[in-house]
Amino acid sequence: MPRFLVAAAVAVVFFTIYALVDCLMTDRQRARGIPKALWVVVILVLAPIGGILWLTLGKDRSPGGRTARTMAPDDDPAFLKRLGRDKDQDERIRRLEQELAELDDDSKE
């Protein structure tokens, strides 16, 4: 019996730590019901019930949560537009540097 109690206590501690770390690492917009800081208190005070409550009720498990869906860079029009602008700017800078180099060559003669 004492071994079981020790094993149960260790399991409760590990589960509480897991729930606490999960809560702390979760984006605050994905916390439902109460603010994330209060979820931390609930997890710590009501161990292991608080961890179960966090995982079942507190954390928004829908894909993407309430935040905007992230896109791969090649699917993001703003990123592709910025790439085109950067390419144009690089070309302009290259031409200006070339013109400056030509002016320096002309002034030395």
- The share of the chain scoring above pLDDT 90, in percent, equals 49
What's the rounded mean pLDDT across residues 59-66?
69
pTM of the full predicted structure? 0.56
pLDDT at 46: 93
Domain that holds residue 63: 1-68
- The share of the chain scoring above pLDDT 70, in percent, equals 91
Helices (H), 1-109: 2-25, 36-45, 49-53, 77-108
Work out the end-to-end distance of the chain between its first and last CA atoms, rounded to an integer number of angstroms.
98
Q: How far apart are CA 101 and CA 99, in angstroms?
A: 5
Number of domains the chain is built from: 2
> What is the chain's mean pLDDT, rounded?
86
Residues 6+ apart with CB under 8 A from 26: 36, 59
Residue 10 DSSP SS3: helix
pLDDT at 21: 95
What's the rounded mean pLDDT across residues 65-81?
70
Residue 106, pLDDT above cutoff 60: yes
Residues 6+ apart with CB under 8 A from 27: 65, 67
- Do 40 and 84 lie in one domain? The reply is no
- Do 63 and 76 lie in one domain? The reply is no
- Do 56 and 100 lie in one domain? The reply is no
Which phi and psi angles does 64 have, rounded to 5°? 85, -15
- Do 77 and 61 lie in one domain? The reply is no
Residue 47 DSSP SS3: coil
- Do 39 and 81 lie in one domain? The reply is no
What's the rounded mean pLDDT across residues 30-48?
91
